[in-house]
Amino acid sequence: MAKTASVFTRVEPEVKARAEAVLDRLGISMSAAMEMYLRQIALQRKIPFEMALPNEQLISYNALSEEQFNALMDDAVKSYADGKFKSAEDFDRELKAQLNI
């Protein structure tokens, strides 16, 4: 048997669980997936997928009509009511917890 080296990493439990669920459906162990990933880095001499910031569409308040602004605000209120967004207080609390401040 060939010699092997160990790689240890920390990852959020939720991310690990979601990845394991996908890998289980594919019939691939976490160890095999990590080895494939590292082999691709070695072969391609780069991260084997595109890394980019998401496109963000910035909206200028001054460019909106009153109707457009009101429609955006209505969408924001509905999204919040549907649980898609957090309150500023929740966001601030979570950010401080992540930064240990």
Mean pLDDT of 30-34: 95
Domain ranges of the chain: 13-44, 61-99
Structure tokens at 52: 């980019």
pLDDT digits (tens, 9 = 90+) for 35-57: 999 999 999 999 998 887 777 67
Distance, CA of 19 to CA of 1 (rounded, Å) = 28
Q: pTM above 0.85?
A: no
Distance, CA of 73 to CA of 53 (rounded, Å) = 25
pLDDT tops 80 at residue 59: no
